[in-house]
Structure 1
Amino acid sequence: MRRPAILLLLFVIALAVPLVVSSNYYLRLVNLALIFGLLAVSLNVVLGYAGQLSLGHAGLFGIGAYVTALMTAGHSGTLFWPAFVLSGLVTGAVGLLIGFPALRLKGHYLALATLGFGEIMRNLFFNWREVTHGMDGIGNIPPPSLGFFAFTGDTRFYYLGLLMLAVAMLLVHRLERSKYGRMLAAIRDAELAAGVVGVNVPRLKVTAFFISAVLAGCAGSLYAHLTSFISPDVFVFDVSAQVLSMVLIGGIGTTWGPVLGAVVLTFLPEMLRVSKSYYQLIYGAGIAAMIIFFPGGLLGMARACWRLLVAKKAPEDVLYASTEPSTPPADAMSPLPQSRTGSSALLVAEGVTMRFGGLVALKDLALDVREGEIHALIGPNGSGKSTFINVASGIYTPTSGRIAFANESIVGRKPWLIAGLGLARTFQNLRLFQSLSVIENVLVGCRTSDAAGWFGVLASTAKAKSEGIELQRMAEEALNFVGLAQFRDRPIRTLPHEQQRIVEVARAIAMRPRLIMLDEPAAGMNPAEVDRLIERIRRLRDAGMTILLVEHNMPLVMKVADRITVLNHGRKIAEGDPSSIRDNPEVIEAYLGHSTRKRLLQHAAS
């Protein structure tokens, strides 16, 4: 069954719910499921998409409820609409304040911070009696109305709640499928790599908290108008834990999962009440078992069952990617500004020292990478090669010294700002975004003018669609260039090691850099794969990119490098062309050894 048909069927079923559910009690539960579905969707924005655990959503939920209660209690229901909007905006502003700790805190530290926020808000609701009336609560909250039509009763309120939830799901779905959704997924999967490819990590995290808070505030507003009464004992930690369970049970990081989880966990306690004193035990054990054995949630389990039941067995050549590359034309990418080998230095390091406590990883390093050249950086393990790449890409700030890229100092700059100047890199240990497909990994590295902005993406404007098409073109060009276009839609985790390394190169290429730093790209490759890598590196240089290559494979280095710098114990011990480095006594003693030099001479002769 195709997606439009499934959506149409769900739409018809949703419209018919009040006609099928005759009991006012169960219809009230349905309305609560809609509201908690909206709250779960809001939590999923920060948890499922951005990977930030929040345990304070009950506080955000309460802020939205109190804002709308203070504006509408004892007044006409027509005030619902401005109150609803203001509830979202006020809660969103608070969400911005919560987002800032997320810049410094991660994992359980962030969870504890948001838990503390939730407790602060609960105490505020309880003690600020002049405004919240404490445990007496605020009552006489009118049902929403639109002109002369009032959403009185659970049947009418159901359609309002359904509309609000559908709009929220549509906006979140557009976010998930957009470039911002991919960036959030990149932060969730590999935050360090996301920053290096140009994702402004702090801005994305704060924006995710803002969107999440707006939706939570809207859910709180709906709750206040449904129940007509609110008090502090509603907005407690148990609500945050329940909503977290809804997201995990339904399917984290999906559009429909949180809503499914909200429906299940709203009705499950009612179904278990027949077991009387044991239903709490059954309820808790069932949730724990679901999270442990089905981490993808109910939606993930349903998808797995669907694949087992109806999916045809894929041919073996589809299941396992061939390691043979395609042979794209030389002009597979739009031409970059051509560099001239031997022209001015693009990357310059002077007196760079990097200390980690008592360990000196780099000592007074001087290095320049000239435009248009392939410059190799070699040396024993622990000599400081990868440390220099980390310093140059902004992951580390050097203890002392100067680094300039394109005549602009980059010391102390954040990785995404350095990436914006045109400096890209790969990692010694693969850092791909495992939840994304091949082309989605590459798309994270693509950049356009960003003229559409967040509003354009959520509203699906023509400008946003045009930017999306341009990003797809850039990503496909990069994949064509490295010969992996045929695997564009494959999950990245299903590719062989060599091809995953090439995807990482394609992601860097998609950034359209002036300089690309390759950190041991041949690691784990067999000789045939290394030969293909050599060809790709040469084609990168021919396309106009300058390359800084860190590599232990000496035959590869000697074949492609124009110049070589040798490090030992963080110091530069030699620099020159391949033949001079191969014959340098100090390099032979510190790194190559006589047997390696002999093999290199044999390679050169052949």
Structure 2
Amino acid sequence: MKHGRHPLAVLLAAAALIGITSLFGNDYYLRIVFMMCVYYLCAAGMNVLVGYAGQKSLGQAGLFAAGAYAVALLTTRTEMNPWLALVAAAAISGVCGVLIALPSLRVKGPYLAMVTLAFGIVVEKLVGEWTDVFGGAQGIYGIKALTWNGQPLTSEQWVWLGIALCAVTHLLLRNLVQGRFGRALLSLQADEIASASVGVRVYRAKVIAFVVAAVTCGIAGALVAQQNQYINSDFITFHLSIFILLLVLFGGAGSMYGPLVGTVILTVVDAALARWPSAQHFLYGFLLLFALYVMPGGVVGLFSKWFRRSGDAPEAPGAATGSTRIGPGGSGELLVVQGVTKNFGGVKPAQDVSFRLQRGHIHALIGPNGAGKSTMINMLTGLIDPTEGSIRFLDQEVSGRAVHSICCMGMGRTFQNLRLFTDLSVLDNVMLGRHSRMTNGFFASLVSLPSARKQEAATRARALQLLELVGLLHLAHQPAGSLPYGLQRRVELARALATEPQLLLLDEPAAGLNPQETTELGQLLIRIGKCGVTILMVEHHMDLVMSVSDHVIVLDYGIKIAEGRPAEVQANPRVVEAYLGVDEPEALLTEPEGQPC
């Protein structure tokens, strides 16, 4: 019942708008409303790309052109039905979105914005100068308009179609960003490394964001071309790309209603200043800077605190009932590291290191600073590829695999320096850990199929279980970045557990914790071990290591110098030497005679 409230509200709002516009009777006002719908389609998709995925794009005019010229060429040079041509234009724009997304595999930030800007400029020059195909400034005439009952749509009907498309677009994108894929996109914006570590396929998520923005912008361009029955190069300018970006930033990037607010305000301003193009350009530049530096949350962000709920009630423990079994437990070898070496030029943080991890044990990887411990953890999880050697997990070679792939195999981790998604809630952070364990695909999420809703409910319940396990259930709806450092460590631990790991790698989990928090962490690790999870932790707190570990491995300058039970390692002379050094006078006494001091 709750699930259907928002679609019903959107349907009623769309019906009300259609009823109001039917009373206008003035083509000028109808044209303004139609352009609002067009710009909203552009801004809604752009919001997914910029506001959620954090990918900066200045090439939306090129995607607008892809949709407009696709429908123009298909309807003027073939006998294709104009409705089918609209669908084809959306598909062609999506392909162009994939092409723009490819550079995002290698560049990001301002460099990505420059690449997309180059795409927009290339398209602008292409349609302006390749006159044999695109008509240049003269353009393409005779584009077939959409029809109803064999007649071209009237001005009113174009507006009604625009409103209907906007309502459908809003509902579909809301389904997408409020579930599995929305969390994945937000994680990209925060930290791509942490995102991959919880199983998000980073490049695939970027491509999805670019394609969504491309399809909506392409549909908008096609609608303009079909309504005008004419398109030329004057429609495709860099000014259009800036305007679309401004719609999102001014309204409020990352908010479902930001693009709507920005579209309504700026379309009215655009119409009011249509007689003074130079004033338009100046105002858009000013508003863009204003939105970036003075109002980063946009209009919606400025007023959101007035409408924000006082806070979600803490989840009842009963909501998280059920087994907290995580890993399969059992016995035998889980991970085998054989002869692993890593070279960074002349530096070797790992030199022919070999060890084996047994299921159901808590292992510790210790050593002085610079011993190569974190490098080893990064090699195990795919962040760094070893120069030589083999890493086998569950009898499969993992060297060279992508980070998200290793996570999906059953290897979770935390980081030496916290990598939380600080702007997301504690609950959303932990639910992100379940990303790779959810099976609902893009289209199931887009249309909110029952299977997708069931997956979302199961993920939420599991996340609450894990928050109860680490003692953070009462803080589920707090922003993760607002918690004290020690609690943030627990959030990251819960997020790693949400990946359902068989092997959990902890990189200095007690760093920055006070003695009481360290003791509580040790007790928590023992509870996690009883849940069927094998643990390998890098740690400097020897009291913690000796109290919870079953097996200890010692590295020194990238070389394994000892391993065994905690008591055996603690008494090993080479370990004592690595930590405490050798007494210099004693060392001098052992120098052979005749050797210089």
TM-score, normalization by structure 1: 0.88
Q: Distance in 2 between matches of 1:232 and 1:296?
A: 34
- Tell me the residue number matched to 2:99: 97
- Report the equivalent of 1:190: 191
Alignment of 1:72-83 (within 5 A): 72-73=75-76, 79-83=81-85
**Contact 1:522–1:553 under 8 Å retained in 2:** yes
SS in 2 for 1:540: helix
Cα distance in 1, alignment partners of residues 90 and 369 from structure 2: 54
Aligned partners of 2:346, 2:108: CA distance in 1, in Å?
27
Looking at structure 2, the residues matched to 370 and 556 of structure 1 have their Cα atoms a distance apart, in angstroms, of 20
In 2, are the aligned partners of 1:444 and 1:507 still within 8 Å (CA)? Answer: yes
* Residue 123 of structure 1: how far off its partner (Å): 2.1
Kindly provide the CA deviation profile for residues 204-256 of structure 1, in whole angstroms up to 9, marking residues without a partner as x. Answer: 22222222222121111111123222111211222111111111111112222
2:531 counterpart of 1:543: yes
Q: Which residue among 470, 494, 505 is the counterpart of 1:482?
A: 470
1:400–1:587 Cα change, 3 Å: same
Change (3 A) 1:179 1:249: same
Q: Structure 1 residues 207, 284: CA separation in 2 closer, same or farther (over 3 Å shift)? A: closer
Once the two structures are superposed, the pairs formed by residues 362-511 of structure 1 within 5 Å of their partners are 362-447=350-435, 451-511=439-499
* CA RMSD in angstroms, aligned pairs only: 2.9
For residue 177 of structure 1, what is the amino acid of its counterpart?
Answer: Q
Contact 1:54 1:114 in 2 (8 A): yes
Whether 1:49 and 2:52 are equivalent positions in the alignment is yes
Structure 2 distance, partners of 1:448, 1:362, is 30
- Cα distance, 1:179–1:415 mapped onto 2, change above 3 Å: same
Alignment correspondent of 2:27: 24
Alpha carbons of 1:30 and 1:74: their partners in 2 closer, same or farther (altered >3 Å)? farther
- Quote the Cα distance in structure 2 between the aligned partners of 1:399 and 1:296: 45
CA distance in 1 between partners of 2:191 and 2:279 (Å): 42
Q: 1:38, 1:259 within 8 Å by CA — same for their partners in 2?
A: no
Question: Which residue in the other structure is 2:266 paired with?
Answer: 265
Aligned counterpart in structure 2 of residue 579 of structure 1, from 559, 567, 583: 567
Per the alignment, in what secondary structure is the counterpart of residue 140 of structure 2? coil
Partner of residue 513 from structure 1, selected from 501, 520, 530: 501
Structure 2 partner of 1:68:
71
The aligned residue for residue 522 of structure 1 is 510
Aligned to 1:604: none
Task: Give the 3-state SS of the residue equivalent to 1:135 in structure 2.
Answer: coil
Contact 1:127 1:134 in 2 (8 A): yes
Number of positions where the alignment pairs a residue of Structure 1 with one of Structure 2: 577
Letter in 2 for 1:122: E
CA contact 1:394–1:415 (8 Å) conserved in 2: yes
Seen in structure 2, the aligned counterparts of structure 1 residues 522 and 137 have a Cα distance that, compared at 3 Å, is same
Asked if 1:139 is matched to 2:141, the reply is yes
What amino acid is the match of 1:380?
A: P
1:231-380 maps to which residues of 2 (within 5 A)? 231-271=232-272, 281-307=282-308, 332-334=323-325, 336-340=327-331, 344-380=332-368
Worse overlay, 17-26 or 128-137: 17-26
Q: Deviations over 1:371-418 (max 9, x none)?
A: 111111111222111111011000001111111112211111111111
Give me the whole-angstrom Cα distance separating, in 2, the residues matched to 1:157 and 1:413. Answer: 51
User: Is the 1:72–1:80 contact (alpha carbons within 8 Å) kept by the matching residues of 2?
Assistant: yes
Q: Deviations over 1:498-549 (max 9, x none)?
A: 1111111111111111100011111111122112111110011111111001
CA distance in 2, matches of 1:91, 1:109: 22
Aligned equivalent of 2:123:
121
State percent identity of aligned pairs: 40
Q: Distance in 2 between matches of 1:531 and 1:258?
A: 49
Cα deviations by residue, 1:464-511 (Å, 9 ceiling, x for unpaired): 222222222222222222222222222212222111111111111111
**Matched letter for residue 41 of structure 1:** A
1:35 CA displacement: 0.3
Does the 8 Å CA contact 2:14/2:163 hold for their aligned counterparts?
A: no
| Matched residue type, 1:491 | P
Cα distance in 2 for partners of 1:49, 1:327 equals: 32
- Evaluate the alpha carbon distance shift between residue 367 and residue 333 of structure 1 in structure 2; reply closer, same or farther with a 3 A threshold: same
Instruction: Measure the CA separation in 2 of the matches of 1:353 and 1:276.
Output: 63
Cα 1:105–1:228 shift into 2, 3 Å? same
Worse overlay, 393-402 or 5-14 = 5-14
Q: Return the alpha-carbon distance in structure 1 between the equivalents of residues 281 and 210 of structure 2.
A: 32
Give the residue type in structure 1 aligned to 2:566: P
Q: For 1:327 and 1:550, locate their aligned partners in 2 and report how far apart those are by CA, in whole Å.
A: 35
Of 530-539 and 298-307, more deviation after overlay is shown by 298-307
Say which SS state the counterpart of residue 134 (structure 1) adopts: coil
Tell me, yes or no, if the aligned pair for 1:372 and 1:545 is still in contact at 8 Å: yes
1:298, distance to aligned residue in structure 2 (A):
0.8
Q: Is the 8 A contact 1:332 1:481 kept in 2?
A: no
In structure 2, give the amino acid aligned to 1:391: M
What secondary structure, in the 3-state scheme, does the structure 1 residue paired with 2:81 have?
A: helix
- Distance in 2, matches of 1:542 and 1:277, equals 69
Distance 1:170 1:7 in 2: 8
Q: Which residue of 1 aligns with 2:220?
A: 219
Give the drift of 1:11.
4.1
Contact residue 363 and residue 553 of structure 2 kept, 8 A:
yes
Partner Cα distance (1:70, 1:289) in 2? 40
| Distance of aligned partners of 1:135 and 1:164 in 2 relative to their CA distance in 1, 3 Å threshold | same
Q: Is the 8 A contact 2:329 2:534 kept in 1?
A: no
Structure-2 change in CA distance of 1:450 and 1:558 (3 Å): closer
* CA gap 1:298/1:477 in 2 versus in 1, 3 angstroms: same
> Which one-letter code corresponds to 2:193 in the other structure?
L
Counterpart secondary structure, 1:35: helix
Aligned mate of 2:519, from 498, 517, 531: 531
Q: Distance in 2 between matches of 1:91 and 1:218?
A: 8
How many angstroms apart in 2 are the aligned matches of 1:332 and 1:75? 62
In 2 relative to 1, CA 545–134 (structure 1 residues): closer, same or farther, beyond 3 Å? Answer: same
The CA deviation at 1:20 is 6.6
Deviation, structure 1 residue 339? 2.4
Seen in structure 2, the aligned counterparts of structure 1 residues 95 and 75 have a Cα distance that, compared at 3 Å, is closer
Task: Give the drift of 1:156.
Answer: 2.3
How many Å apart are 1:141 and its aligned residue?
2.8
* Contact residue 200 and residue 436 of structure 2 kept, 8 A: no
Return the letter of the residue paired with 1:222. Answer: L
Question: How far 1:338 sits from its partner (Å)?
Answer: 2.2
* 1:544 counterpart SS class: coil
- 1: distance between equivalents of 2:428 and 2:280? 44
Cα distance between partner residues in 2 of 1:477 and 1:247: 37
Range with bigger deviation, 142-151 or 421-430: 142-151
Distance 1:175 1:329 in 2: 25
Question: More displaced, 378-387 or 469-478?
Answer: 469-478
Counterpart code for 1:54 = S
Query: How far apart in 2 are the matches of 1:548 and 1:56?
Result: 46
